[in-house]
């Protein structure tokens, strides 16, 4: 009897549970509009105050303002309709979250270097899922284990908590193994989107070219500005408060090629670092001038592609096509020192590396005659002597008309002529000497076959037996200690966040490192002190700051893995490759 009563009780419980399940209201899935609203508000992104764009979003819709904000910031791809009331998948929410935190570049380069398929997901979402899998803090586990499922209200609350945690701390890193190197990509902290957008052209070599392009754009009724950079000019259009307006304008312009870029710099803690390490004894670094390929300046990827390189980084400072600071390539001096700023040098086999002061003196021996060298690949002063090498260009531009020119081939004099009757050609089998005033009088009677050599005397003895030396600065780390010498650089150059490049050593491996900048959503850049701190965290004991700003780029295995300002890979006079 007790057994029968127990069985009846169990049946009653089952019937009651079934009744509750049947009578309960179904829990609605989270819509796309709700997901976007949660992302915008959880990250504290500023609302856009403009007019609506999507045809299926009315001002009375509860998610209207957040969806239009996401559109204005470029988080949502430009289109006519958004479909705010259909279910949002977990994977879609992850992608929108990554984009809102400024992680587009990381997803893009991850997809280029290591594409990972996620079954059942569209290809444009998969790199964001791969990125999220290595993110700290990680997204809620169900977003990774079942990304195709529709979001639930519980998912929505978990996502909000995760996003708020990301605003306090965020870190992502990934290593990629190459034949002779390891690339480490690192991202810290979320970024802040710009309040205005604009369009930017490629760089023009002359103001006249930029003015011609600007006039073409003005005839289209566009508001155009010409900006002068260090040695080039760009054309800019804008500003636009809405990303879509900038994008729509860009696709209507047949020429010149334009890129959508941020027009404002919001304070941000976002930092993206690309660090490339390699064994110099196994793959010695090389200095490759652009002129050895074609042209006075070339983008880093062109130099790398034509050098049989695995990795590459921009080099030291320059002005126009003129190299600034000491540069010695395969024991040939191409540029003289800029004061006593710091430098790095290495032997051709990579067995010796030295960080120190880059000052040197050079002299020419022409038979029994010895004269001091006044300039390298730059016109000499009155009474001075200049050396011109084919590593910079095949002809001397701006050559003085009052000098005597000596052509050197294979280590001997092959010809002497006055500058006024010369085409200033620089032979690839040697170099050209231009001497003015009294120095020219000493050389005008030199005979063919006279032996010629160049002697370099370094202030720092550590460079005496090294084949390659480049001067940049300031020094960041020396023997494990942070350097504090500004080396004559302005406080603005040192203390304002900029894109930075550096060359360093951990005692065994050499490192190419770039910190992206000038994009607060992706990477705000770094001061010199912050750059030294990054080098120290990577384990470097010696580190030299290279040319930064728009020149900062790293190329690896066929790709530019950094994000240069404005999306433009700036042409440089030489690059470091291995």
The closest of 389, 388, 390, 385 to 369, measured between CA atoms, is 385
**pLDDT for 570 beyond 50:** yes
pTM of the model: 0.91
Check if the beta carbon of residue 338 is closer than 8 Å to that of residue 471: yes
* Cis-peptide into 101, omega within 30 deg: no
CB atoms within 10 A of CB 177: 8
CA distance 535 to 476: 8
Of how many residues is the chain composed?
578
Q: Which two tokens stand for residue 273?
A: 């670092």
Pairing of strands 385-388, 375-376: parallel
**pLDDT for 6 beyond 50:** no
**pLDDT for 134 beyond 70:** yes
What residue has token string 């021996």?
Answer: 365
CA distance 401 to 434: 10
What residue has token string 């170099």?
Answer: 431
| pLDDT value at residue 23 | 41
Looking at the chain, the whole-number percentage of residues with pLDDT higher than 90 is 84
CA distance 101 to 560: 22
Contacts of 15 (CB under 8 A, 6+ apart): none
Poorest-pLDDT segment among 3-12, 344-353, 484-493: 3-12
The closest of 343, 369, 340 to 356, measured between CA atoms, is 343
What value does the mean pLDDT of the chain take?
93
Side by side, the strands of the sheet bearing 430-436 are 375-376, 385-388, 430-436, 403-409, 412-418
CA distance 572 to 291: 10
Question: SS3 breakdown of the chain: % helix, strand, coil, rounded to 5?
Answer: 25, 30, 45
- What residue spans of 169-262 are helical by DSSP H? 207-218, 243-251
The closest of 124, 19, 32, 152 to 81, measured between CA atoms, is 32
**pLDDT for 302 beyond 90:** yes
Average confidence (pLDDT) over 104-123: 96
> What three-state secondary structure class fits 123?
coil
CA distance 90 to 143: 5
Instruction: List pLDDT tens digits, range 404-428.
Output: 999 999 999 999 999 999 999 999 9
Q: Which two tokens stand for residue 287?
A: 């200095």
CA distance 89 to 190: 23
Helix (H) or strand (E) holding 106: helix 104-113
Average confidence (pLDDT) over 308-337: 96
Beta bridge partners of 323: 318
* Cis-peptide into 137, omega within 30 deg: yes
> What three-state secondary structure class fits 217?
helix
CA distance 491 to 383: 36
CA distance 485 to 268: 27
Q: Which two tokens stand for residue 380?
A: 């000499």
Contacts of 107 (CB under 8 A, 6+ apart): 98, 127, 128, 130, 131
The closest of 144, 93, 86 to 116, measured between CA atoms, is 144
Instruction: List pLDDT tens digits, range 446-468.
Output: 999 999 999 999 999 999 999 99
CA distance 117 to 122: 9
Contacts of 303 (CB under 8 A, 6+ apart): 288, 290, 293, 312, 572, 574, 575, 577
CA distance 472 to 51: 50
The closest of 91, 96, 89, 87 to 144, measured between CA atoms, is 91
CB atoms within 10 A of CB 456: 17
The closest of 461, 456, 547 to 500, measured between CA atoms, is 547
Beta bridge partners of 259: 200
Average confidence (pLDDT) over 206-219: 95
Average confidence (pLDDT) over 490-495: 93
**pLDDT for 557 beyond 80:** yes
What residue has token string 């529709």?
Answer: 150
| pLDDT value at residue 18 | 41
What residue has token string 């019937």?
Answer: 15
CA distance 106 to 92: 17
| pLDDT value at residue 321 | 87
State the maximum Cα–Cα separation within the chain, in Å, rounded to a whole number: 132
Instruction: List pLDDT tens digits, range 382-411.
Output: 999 999 999 999 999 999 999 999 999 999
Distances (CA, A) of 236 to 193, 200, 211, 245, 524: 19, 5, 11, 15, 21
Poorest-pLDDT segment among 31-40, 242-251, 483-492: 242-251
Helix-then-strand count for the chain, H and E? 14, 34
Beta bridge partners of 46: none
CA distance 10 to 5: 9
Check if the beta carbon of residue 500 is closer than 8 Å to that of residue 514: yes
Beta bridge partners of 31: 87
CA distance 362 to 457: 6
Instruction: List pLDDT tens digits, range 11-27.
Output: 444 444 443 334 444 56
């Amino acid at each position: 009897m007790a057994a029968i009563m127990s069985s009846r009780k169990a049946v009653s419980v089952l019937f009651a549970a079934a009744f509750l399940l049947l009578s309960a209201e179904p829990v609605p899935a989270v819509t796309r509009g709700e997901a976007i609203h949660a992302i915008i508000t959880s990250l504290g992104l500023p609302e856009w105050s403009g007019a609506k764009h999507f045809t299926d979003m009315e001002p009375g819709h509860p998610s209207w303002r957040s969806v239009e904000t996401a559109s204005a910031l470029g988080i949502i791809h430009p289109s006519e309709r958004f479909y705010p009331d259909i279910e949002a998948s977990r994977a879609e929410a992850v992608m929108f979250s990554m984009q809102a935190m400024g992680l587009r570049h990381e997803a893009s380069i991850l997809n280029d270097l290591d594409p990972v398929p996620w079954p059942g997901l569209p290809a444009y979402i998969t790199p964001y899922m791969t990125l999220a899998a290595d993110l700290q803090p990680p997204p809620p586990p169900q977003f990774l284990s079942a990304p195709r499922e529709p979001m639930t209200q519980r998912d929505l609350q978990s996502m909000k908590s995760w996003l708020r945690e990301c605003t306090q701390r965020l870190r992502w890193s990934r290593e990629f193994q190459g034949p002779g190197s390891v690339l480490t990509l690192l991202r810290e902290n979320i970024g802040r989107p710009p309040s205005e957008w604009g369009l930017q052209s490629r760089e023009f070599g002359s103001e006249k070219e930029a003015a011609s392009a600007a006039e073409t754009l003005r005839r289209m009724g566009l508001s155009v500005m010409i900006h002068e950079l260090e040695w080039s000019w760009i054309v800019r259009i804008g500003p636009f408060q809405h990303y879509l307006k900038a994008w729509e304008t860009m696709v209507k312009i047949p020429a010149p090629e334009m890129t959508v870029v941020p027009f404002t710099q919001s304070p941000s803690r976002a930092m993206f670092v690309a660090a490339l390490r390699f064994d110099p004894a196994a793959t010695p670094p090389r200095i490759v001038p652009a002129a050895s390929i074609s042209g006075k300046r070339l983008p880093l990827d062109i130099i790398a592609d034509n050098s049989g390189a695995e990795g590459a980084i921009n080099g030291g400072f320059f002005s126009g096509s003129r190299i600034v600071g000491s540069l010695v390539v395969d024991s040939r001096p191409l540029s003289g020192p800029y004061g006593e700023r710091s430098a790095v040098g290495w032997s051709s086999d990579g067995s010796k590396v030295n960080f120190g002061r880059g000052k040197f003196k050079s002299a020419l021996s022409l038979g029994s005659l010895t004269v001091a060298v006044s300039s390298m690949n730059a016109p000499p002063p009155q009474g001075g002597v200049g050396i011109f090498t084919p590593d910079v260009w095949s002809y001397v531009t701006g050559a003085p008309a009052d000098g005597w020119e000596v052509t050197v081939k294979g280590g001997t004099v092959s010809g002497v002529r006055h500058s006024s009757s010369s085409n200033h050609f620089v032979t690839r089998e040697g170099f050209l000497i231009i001497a003015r005033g009294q120095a020219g009088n000493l050389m005008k009677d030199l005979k063919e076959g006279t032996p010629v050599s160049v002697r370099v005397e370094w202030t720092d003895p550590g460079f005496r037996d090294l084949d390659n030396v480049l001067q940049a600065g300031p020094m960041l780390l020396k023997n494990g200690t942070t350097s504090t010498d500004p080396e004559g650089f302005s406080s603005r150059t040192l203390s304002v966040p900029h894109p930075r490049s550096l060359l360093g050593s951990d005692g065994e491996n050499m490192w190419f490192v770039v910190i992206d900048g000038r994009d607060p959503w992706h990477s705000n850049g770094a001061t010199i002190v912050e750059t030294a701190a990054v080098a120290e965290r990577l384990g470097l004991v010696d580190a030299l700051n290279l040319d930064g700003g728009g020149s900062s780029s790293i190329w690896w295995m066929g790709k530019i893995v950094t994000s240069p300002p404005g999306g433009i890979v700036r042409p440089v006079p030489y690059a470091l490759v291995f």
